[in-house]
Homo-oligomer: A and B are copies of this chain.
Amino acid sequence: MAETMKATLFIEPGRIALDDKPIPEVGANDALVRITTTTICGTDVHILKGEYPVEKGLTIGHEPVGVIEKLGANVHGYEEGERVIAGAICPSGHSFACLDGLHAQDGQSSPHGLKPMGGWRFGNTIDGTQAEYVLVPDAMANLARVPDGLTDEQVLMCPDIMSTGFAGAENAGIKIGDTVAVFAEGPIGLCATAGAKLKGATTIIGVDTVAERLDIAKRMGADHVIDFNKVDPVDEILRITDGRGVDVAIEALGLQQTFESCLRVLKPGGTLSSLGVYSGDLTLPLGAFNAGLGDNKIITSLCPGGKERMRRLMNVIESGRVDLEPLVTHRFKLDDIIEAYDLFSHQSDGVLKVAITP
C-alpha cells in the first residue's frame, strides 16, 4: 500500500486543491476505507466560498462509498474488502446526546458549551471523503455494508441528502392522507418529496423554478408542481387546498423567502419542517406565525447518520420503493474535482449531483 493519497484540500476562502497527503494511521476504533465513489454537497460549496469555516488543509467531503481497507484493533463484525458506506454524520454512539437519541448532535452535552452539529465530522472536524481514502471514526457505529447487487451510484445519496430529505418528512410526523408542500426541489427537496410519499402524504406539492427539477419531483411523488416564477406559490397552494393550507411544509433551500412561504401556507396546527442551511437571521412575520397562537411547530433536522440509518436507507433503495439514480447527472474523476466543483457550484448544465470516482 502506498503511503500517500490524493485528497481535496481546503486552502483558503475561494480555493481548494487536489494534493497529496499521508494515508492516515488506523486507530483502535477506526476503519480505513478506500473511496470508490463520493460526491459534492451544497455545504462543500459553502466551505469553498469561506462561508462555513474549516481548518486550512482539511480534506473536504462527507459522502463515502468504498471498500474496507483496514480495520482497527477493536473493530469487530466486519472484514477487509467489504463494500461499505458511512453517513455524513458519524455518531460515536456513546455520548450523552447519542444515548438520548440525538445522534447528529453528538457532543452537545460536553462541558464545553452549546456546540451543535457535533456528529458532523467528515470534512468538518476531521479529514473527509473527497480523497482516495478516508478514516471512519467509531467504525462499529458507522460502517454499513452495501447489499449485493446495489451499485455505488444507487447508494451514493444515502450518506447525506437522502437521509436529510427523508428526515424532513419523518420528523414532521406526516400522517396518511396529509398534504405536504416542498420548497424547493433541489437534491434535498427531491429526497424530501420521496420521503413524504413514503410516509403516507397523498397530496404533495413541489415548488421550484427549474422545469427539469419539477419533472423529477413528479417522479419522486409530487402530485402538483408549481413554478414560482410563473405563479405565486402561496396563492397557488391555497387554491389547490381549497384554502385549507398544508399539514406540513418542508423548507429545503435556506432562504427567508421560502421559509416565510412555508409559514404562509401552513394550516393552523401545521408543521414547518426546515432542512435549509441558512446564512442570515430569519424573520417570523406576526401574521404568518399566527402571533404564536396557531399550534404550529417549526422543526429543524440535521442529517441522521450511523450504520442503522444507512442500513434502512439502503433497504429503501433495494426494495425499489425509491430510485435516486436520476439525481446523479454528471460524473468526474477525482483528478477533475476542481472542474466538478466549478460545474456544481454554478449549477451549470442542469446538474443535480455529481459522482466523483478516484
Which residues of A are at the interface with B, using a C-beta cutoff of 8 A? 28-29, 73-74, 91-94, 96-105, 108-118, 138, 140-141, 166, 170, 175-178, 195, 197-200, 202-203, 223, 238, 242-245, 254, 266-269, 274-286, 289-302, 306-309, 311-313, 315-316, 318-319, 321
Contacts and interface: CB of A to CB of B under 8 A. Distances in A.
A94 B290 contact: no
Contact of A102 (B269, B275, B301): B269
A297 B295 contact: no
Contacts of A197: 321
Copies of this chain present in the complex amount to 4
Contact of A141 (B94, B269, B294, B307): B94
Nearest to A177: B312
Contacts of A294: 105, 116-117, 300, 302
B311 A96 contact: yes
Contacts of A321: 197, 202
Contacts of A93: 92-94, 98-99, 141
Nearest to A275: B292
A284 B298 CA distance: 12
A285 B280 CA distance: 7
A315 B112 CA distance: 20
Contacts of A94: 93-94, 138, 140-141, 307
Contacts of A195: 176
